[in-house]
Amino acid sequence: MFFFYILVLTLGFVTSYTDIKFREIKNIHLLLAIGFGLAAYLCLIASHQRAFNINLVWNVLIGLGVGLILYFTDTWGAGDAKLFAVYCLLMPTEKYSRVLFFPSIAIFSNIFLISAAGILILSVKDIVKDRIKILKMIFSLGTLAEIGGSFLIVFSLNWVVEIAINRIVPQAKPLFSVLTLFFLYQIIRRLITKIKNKHIIVLILAVGLVSRFLVYKFDFNIEMFFSYLKMTFVYALLFQVVSIVFSLNKPDEKEAKRIPFAPLMFLGTILINTNFLNWLMNILRSIRK
């Protein structure tokens, strides 16, 4: 597996350089990495050093799917989405296989968290400079309406996400619940933007309430309900902030100030075999208690 680490390091340094200097991730570098990676897998399988596993194919397909969805929801650029899929192909990791099943999910978790923090830190100067403008924007009627919409989306989704994650991967519940919720939240927000129909929010809320009774039947607890409302508000506010943070990296706005995303993806990938995710999951468990 040493060869794959060399490939990941080489690809990471090259794409970070081109993203910083030329504001792009070149397809030729991705194709070369894919070619070398596939050749290495074929050699390992042919020499019986590694058995063919269909999960490898599923892992790459999940990586492609996640990348495409985040691209179409304007969270990532096209180059970032393709680079993520290549990292999913190349990066060897078994550390979180019992928790998150596929390496692509663990890699995505790392990249998402590190990139959000990185973009926020790198944007501090602009945030301080435009603090009055940003504060006015945060407390504007438009932003408050968006937070209200976010609250209704999260309120509708969280019932189902919580029980699904609890049944599929209970050991990864705090972190994976938040990431899954944000992922679905972004998709629905994008659909609402495209459809441009205010009644869609009412439909989403209705579906959420129906799903709540289907999932939990009629077991209603007022204390539990208020706790759910509190967590919903926290998630809605958090997702709104994260969406604003990622919008700072959009290539079509202030191109000269665009924050290169490839270095953050590289950092998230090479940290995958560390205890970074375990540390975050433990923090989330402590907060939720």
Which has more pLDDT, 145 or 90? Answer: 90
DSSP secondary structure string for all residues of 143-174: HHHHHHHHHHHHHHHHHHHHHHHHHH-GGGHH
Say how far apart CA 11 and CA 30 lie, in whole Å. 8
Say how far apart CA 237 and CA 225 lie, in whole Å. 18
Say how far apart CA 185 and CA 118 lie, in whole Å. 22
Which has more pLDDT, 8 or 101? Answer: 8
Say how far apart CA 75 and CA 247 lie, in whole Å. 7
86 part of a folded domain: yes
Say how far apart CA 66 and CA 112 lie, in whole Å. 11
**Other residues' Cβ atoms within 10 Å of the Cβ of residue 224:** 11
Which has more pLDDT, 236 or 140? Answer: 236
Q: 184-215, pLDDT tens digit by residue?
A: 888 888 888 777 766 777 787 787 777 777 76
Q: 44-99, pLDDT tens digit by residue?
A: 888 888 777 777 788 888 889 888 888 888 778 889 999 999 998 888 666 655 55
Count the alpha carbons within 13 Å of 171 in the hemisphere toward its beta carbon.
8
Do 132 and 117 belong to one domain? no
Residue 254: what pLDDT? Answer: 46
Do 114 and 170 belong to one domain? no
252 part of a folded domain: no
**Other residues' Cβ atoms within 10 Å of the Cβ of residue 33:** 22
Question: How many angstroms from the chain centroid is the CA of residue 263?
Answer: 16
Q: 164-180, pLDDT tens digit by residue?
A: 777 776 666 677 788 88
Please state whether the predicted TM-score (pTM) of the whole model is above 0.85.
no
Average pLDDT, the chain: 79
Q: What angle do CA 28, 77, 242 make, to 5 degrees?
A: 145
Do 144 and 119 belong to one domain? no
Contact 77, 230 (CB under 8 A): no
Do 218 and 128 belong to one domain? yes
The helix-helix angle for 173-195 and 276-288 (nearest 10°) equals: 90
- Which of 108-117, 125-134, 266-275, 280-289 has the least mean pLDDT? 280-289
Do 178 and 89 belong to one domain? no
Residue (of 235, 279, 14, 262) closest to 118 by Cα position = 262
| DSSP state at residue 254 | S
Residue 53: what pLDDT? Answer: 76
140 part of a folded domain: yes
98 part of a folded domain: yes
The parent domain of residue 72 ranges over 2-123+257-288
Mean pLDDT of 273-288: 72
Number of domains in the chain: 2
Do 167 and 72 belong to one domain? no
Do 51 and 139 belong to one domain? no
57 part of a folded domain: yes
Residue 86: what pLDDT? Answer: 93
Do 213 and 237 belong to one domain? yes
In percent, the amount of the chain with pLDDT more than 90 equals 16
The answer to whether residue 33 scores a pLDDT higher than 90 is: yes
Cα separation values, 251 from 73, 255, 277, Å: 14, 5, 29
The answer to whether residue 28 scores a pLDDT higher than 90 is: yes
Do 76 and 145 belong to one domain? no
138 part of a folded domain: yes
Do 84 and 164 belong to one domain? no
Mean pLDDT of 225-237: 83
35 part of a folded domain: yes
Do 165 and 197 belong to one domain? yes
Say how many residues make up the chain: 289
165 part of a folded domain: yes
Do 132 and 226 belong to one domain? yes
- Which of 156-170, 205-219, 248-262 has the least mean pLDDT? 248-262
